[in-house]
Structure formats: C-alpha cells, structure tokens
Structure 1
Amino acid sequence: MGVYYASVWPRWSDMDAYRHVNHAQTVTLLEEARLQLIYGEGARHGAGMVDGGLVVAKLEVVYNAPLFVNGEPFRVGLTITRMRVADFTIHQEVHCGPSENDKIGVVADVTLAPYDLVNERPRRLTEAERDFLAGWRSGSEESV
C-alpha cells in the first residue's frame, strides 16, 4: 500500500480575506484526511484504535503555498513514518488541488497516541493496529 490518498473539501468558512484557507483551518483539514485513513480504512481492516481513543501528541505544520478555496477538494497523501510501542507518526502532504500534479502547499507530521478512555491513560498499540499501520508505512520508517 504505502501512501493513502484522501480528498478533503474546504468550506466557505475556512477562507480568510485573501481567499485562501486560514492556517488554523488547515489543521482541521489535515485532521479530516487522517480520519479518513484511521476511521475509514482502519474500520475496513479491523483496526479499532479509535474505539478507545486517540490523542494528538505532537503536530508540526509547514506552509509552503496558500490553499485557495475554488470549489475543488485538496488531495492529501498520508504515510506512516514512525511507529513505536505507544505512538505513531503520520506524514501528510496537502496538494493545492485535487490532482497529484498540483503543487504541495502544506506538509505536516503528526504524532498520535492511543488512549484508554476508561482508565484515562495512554495505552500501547494492539497487534491489529500495528498490522494496519504497517501497511501504510513509507520506505524510511522508524520502528521501535
């Protein structure tokens, strides 16, 4: 598998006075793309990590070019670049349009940690979760 591609649609309210997606709203679009991978594909593959909870441990975003609201979705490529016992990192690249040929406007790395909502503490990834995530690893992953 390697790279998962999501389409995210910006909303009118995401736009700022310059007609591009506000930086804070970009973080929401990044989240929507991650949820397509984790909830959508994860559920199809039997990885129920979101049943217990998942929290953002770290988020780094680099804004290379504006994302203009023009009625088209943005293409977002997602890969797993690091997987450890109790967290994993997703690398995301947001194209300025729906095509793989559109330039990359935003690059983000987010570290997510599974969370036990009942006991209110972080938990380890299950074997099913690790197997699912391994299918989306890039060639330069780091595992512990």
Structure 2
Amino acid sequence: MGVYHATVWPRWSDMDSYRHVNHAQTITLLEEARLQLLYGEGARHGAGMVDGGLVVARLEAVYHAPLFVNGYPFRVALSITRMRVADFTIHQVVHCGPSEDDKVGVVADVTLAPYDLQNERPRRLTDAERDFLAGWRSGGDEGV
C-alpha cells in the first residue's frame, strides 16, 4: 500500500473573495481526505479506528499555492509518517487539481490520538489499528 489517494471536492461556499479556498475550509478538506482513509479503508480492513473516537492533537499546514474553486476536485496523497503507542501522524499533500502532476497547494502533518469517548480519556492504538496504519507507512520514526 504505502500512499492512499483521496479525492475531495471543494464547494462554492469554501471560496473566499479571491476565488480560492479559505484557510479554515482547507483544514476541512484535509479532514475529509483523512476520513476517506480512516473510515472508508479502515472499515474495509476491519480497523474501525474512529468508532471509539479520534482527536486531532496537532496540525501543521504549509501553503505552497492557492487552491482555486474551478469545478475540479483536489487530489490528496496521505501516508502515515509516525506511529506511537497512543498517537500517529498522517502526512497529507494536496494537489491543486485531480492529478498528481498538478502543482502542490498544501502540505500538512496531522497528529491524531485515539480517544475513549465513554471514559473521556485518551487510549492506546489497538493491534488492528496499528496493523492497518502500518500498511500506509512511508517513513519517519516508529516512536515508542
């Protein structure tokens, strides 16, 4: 596996007065791409990661080019760059169009932590979750 490719469609309401996707809406598009991997692929592989809760612990986004709302989707490449006992980091690269040949608009690193909603506290990754995430690894340090 290695890299997961998601397609996200910007909405007219994502646009600011310059016709490009507003910063806050860009963060939402990043989330939509992550959910395709974690909900969609995770469920298909028996690792329903977000069923018990998942919270963003850290998010860093670097903007390289504006994302214009022009009737085309954005291609987002996702891979796991770090996995620890109770969190993991997803590296996301957003292309300005539907192809990997389109220029890169945004690069983000998002650290997520599993969360026990019933007991209202962080939890460790399960073996099934770790196995699923390991299939999308692309480097980085394993952590403890």
Per the normalisation by structure 1, the TM-score is 0.98
Q: Tell me, in whole angstroms, the C-alpha distance in 1 between the residues paired with 2:131 and 2:85.
A: 12
Deviation of 1:48 after TM superposition, in Å, equals 1.6
Distance 1:48 1:7 in 2: 21
**Do the aligned residues in 2 keep the contact of 1:80 with 1:141 (CA within 8 Å)?**
no
Matches of 2:117 and 2:106, distance apart in 1:
32
1:37-76 equivalent positions in 2, closer than 5 A: 37-76=37-76
Q: Provide the rounded CA distance (Å) in 2 between the counterparts of 1:117 and 1:139.
A: 30
Map of 1:83 onto structure 2: 83
- How far off is 1:4 after superposition? 0.2
Q: Quote the Cα distance in structure 2 between the aligned partners of 1:131 and 1:137.
A: 10
CA deviation digits over 1:68-118, x for unaligned, max 9? 001010000000000000000000000000001001110000000000000
The answer to whether the 8 Å contact 2:82/2:139 transfers is no
Which amino acid letter does the alignment assign opposite residue 22 of structure 2?
N
Note closer, same or farther for the CA distance 1:141–1:2 as it changes in structure 2 (3 Å cut).
Answer: farther
Greater strand percent: which structure? 1
Describe the SS at the equivalent of 1:39: helix
Provide the rounded CA distance (Å) in 2 between the counterparts of 1:5 and 1:106.
Answer: 15
Q: What residue is the counterpart of 1:120 in the other structure?
A: 120
For the residue of structure 2 that corresponds to 1:89, the secondary structure is strand
**Identity percentage of aligned residues:** 87
Tell me the residue number matched to 1:138. 138
> What secondary structure is seen at the aligned counterpart in 2 of 1:59?
strand
Cα distance in 2 for partners of 1:139, 1:4 equals: 14
Give the number of aligned pairs.
144
1:141 Cα offset (Å): 4.1
For residue 4 of structure 1, what is the aligned residue in structure 2?
Answer: 4
What RMSD, in angstroms, separates the aligned Cα atoms of the two structures?
Answer: 0.7
Structure 2 stretches of 5 or more lacking a match? none
Cα distance in 2, alignment partners of residues 140 and 23 from structure 1: 27
Matched residue, 1:104 = 104
Q: After TM superposition, what 4+ stretches of structure 1 lie above 2 angstroms from structure 2?
A: 139-144
